[in-house]
Structure 1
Amino acid sequence: METITEARRHIDNAKGFLKNNARKQDGLFQDSKYVKIAGHTAYTGILLALNELLREKRKKTRKSAEWYQKELSSLDKKVTSNFATAYEILHLAMGYDGTKSAELAEIGLDKAEQIIKWVEQRLEKPAVIK
Structure 2
Amino acid sequence: MSKKSNEHVLPPAAEAARYLENARQILTEKAGKKDGLYADVKYVKMAAGTAYSAALLILDEYLKQKEGINFTKPKSIEDYTNRLRKHDKKLLRLLVNVYDELHIVGYYHGTRSVEIIQTGLANVTQMLTYI
When normalised by structure 1's length, the TM-score is: 0.85
Aligned to 1:38: 47
AA aligned opposite 1:30: A
Partner of 2:5: none
Q: 2:117 aligns with which of 97, 105, 110?
A: 105
The correspondence for 1:91, drawn from 85, 93, 103, is 103
Counterparts of 1:85 and 1:39 in 2: how far apart (Å)? 13
Q: Which amino acid counterpart does residue 124 of structure 2 have in structure 1?
A: A
SS in 2 for 1:74: helix
What does the per-residue CA deviation read over 1:3-62, in whole Å, with 9 as the maximum and x for residues that have no partner? 1000011111111111110001111001000000001100101111111222344435x6
Structure 2: gaps (5+ residues) = 1-9
Question: Which of structure 1's runs of 4+ aligned residues deviate more than 4 A?
Answer: none
Residues of 2 paired with 1:115 and 1:59: CA distance? 20
Identity of aligned residues (%): 38
Residue 97 of structure 1 and its aligned partner are, at CA, apart by: 1.1
Q: Distance in 2 between matches of 1:58 and 1:37?
A: 29
1:59 aligns with 2:72: yes
- What TM-score, normalized by structure 2, do the two folds share? 0.84
Query: Number of residues paired by the alignment?
Result: 118
More helix by share: 2
Pairs within 5 Å for 1:19-34? 19-34=28-43
| Structure 1 gap segments, 5+ residues each | 121-130
Q: Distance in 1 between matches of 2:88 and 2:28?
A: 32
Structure 2 residue identity aligned to 1:40: G
CA 58–33 in structure 1, closer or farther in 2 if over 3 Å, else same: farther
